[in-house]
Amino acid sequence: MSAGTTTATVFAQARADGRAALVGYLPAGYPDVAGGIDALRTLVDAGCDVIEIGLPYSDPVMDGPTIQAAAQAALERGVRTTDVLRTVEAVAATGTPTLVMTYWNPVERYGVPQFAADLASAGGAGLITPDLTPDSAPEWIAAADEHGLDKVFLVAPSSTDERIAMTTAACRGFVYATAVMGVTGARTTTSDLAGPLVARTKAATDLPVGVGLGVSNGDQAAELAARDGIGADGVIVGSAFVRCLLDHADDRRAGLRALGALTEDLAVGVRRG
């Protein structure tokens, strides 16, 4: 990993280049640990600027059917928290900032300080916490600060301005804006809730704002990234990538090709904005 490459510097570079960053998500352990690493490296090679690795969890309340299916398959194959950290290490070695997206209980079970320490030593950049808000997160905030890890909390269309201020003040790396009221999953149109949410978030912070939930092609990425439009600093894609792998469950190489092609389309999209 090249010294000095952090989530913040990657977003800053993208901003300097006049484009949005492409943030790609896949769960660890699907189709298996090695296959998951191959898929994540494909995202890096084909143009993702930041990587999110999902920690498969038995009760993922924010995830739609696509991500649930992959995470459940990974769990049924016996993926462990240590496998997730191993995956982080393999992906972070590419020099691309690599965060873990996880529901809270597995971190608490591992031990928050220990998880932070082990994530940092694996080269991980930080955590995205879909069911942990800053007002419930003193232990994680302390551990992240100790290890210089990114703390990415979520804002939603339903968040009050007060909560957006509180949440963004606690973030490091970027702010994750969930642009639809609903679970993860590819959608054919981007939400009209994205624009106002990005604007309200930017009014509260100078941190980059990544917009997630529903993006599945380059045109949507361009729409989110448009400087004169929604103006997202990052376009976050998850379910559409997972779908590539699920659709080619019998042919891993075809799955990786589909993943690479979609990444390239999205990478063009974030540059068209």
Cβ atoms of 146 and 164 within 8 Å: the answer is: no
**C-beta of 109 vs 227, nearer to another protein:** 109
What is each CA distance from 188 to 66, 150, 220, 248, 267, in whole angstroms?
15, 31, 8, 21, 18
Question: Among 183, 237, 240, 256, which residue interacts with another protein (rule: CB under 8 A)?
Answer: 183
Does the footprint of another protein cover residue 62 (CB under 8 A)? yes
- Which amino acid appears at position 100 of this protein? V
Question: Among 2, 4, 160, 253, which residue interacts with another protein (rule: CB under 8 A)?
Answer: 160
Q: Which stretch binds another protein (CB under 8 A): 39-47, 105-113, 246-254, 265-273?
A: 105-113
Does the footprint of another protein cover residue 205 (CB under 8 A)? no
Does the footprint of another protein cover residue 257 (CB under 8 A)? no
How many residues sit close enough to another protein to count as binding (CB under 8 A)?
41
Residues 72, 174, 2: CA angle, nearest 5 degrees:
90
Does the footprint of another protein cover residue 155 (CB under 8 A)? yes
Does the footprint of another protein cover residue 114 (CB under 8 A)? no
Tell me how far apart the alpha carbons of residues 247 and 254 are, in angstroms, rounded to a whole number: 9
Q: Which stretch binds another protein (CB under 8 A): 85-93, 149-157, 218-226, 236-244?
A: 149-157
Catalytic positions are 52, 63
Does the footprint of another protein cover residue 201 (CB under 8 A)? no
Tell me how far apart the alpha carbons of residues 161 and 148 are, in angstroms, rounded to a whole number: 27
Does the footprint of another protein cover residue 264 (CB under 8 A)? no
| Helix 218-225 × helix 252-272 angle, to 10° | 30
Give min distance, CB of 167 to another protein, in A: 7
The C-alpha torsion from 177 through 180 and 184 to 189, rounded to 10°, is: -110
Q: What is the DSSP letter of 136?
A: G
Residues near another protein (CB under 8 A): 57-62, 64-65, 68, 72, 75, 80-81, 104-110, 130-133, 135-136, 153-160, 163, 167, 178, 180-183
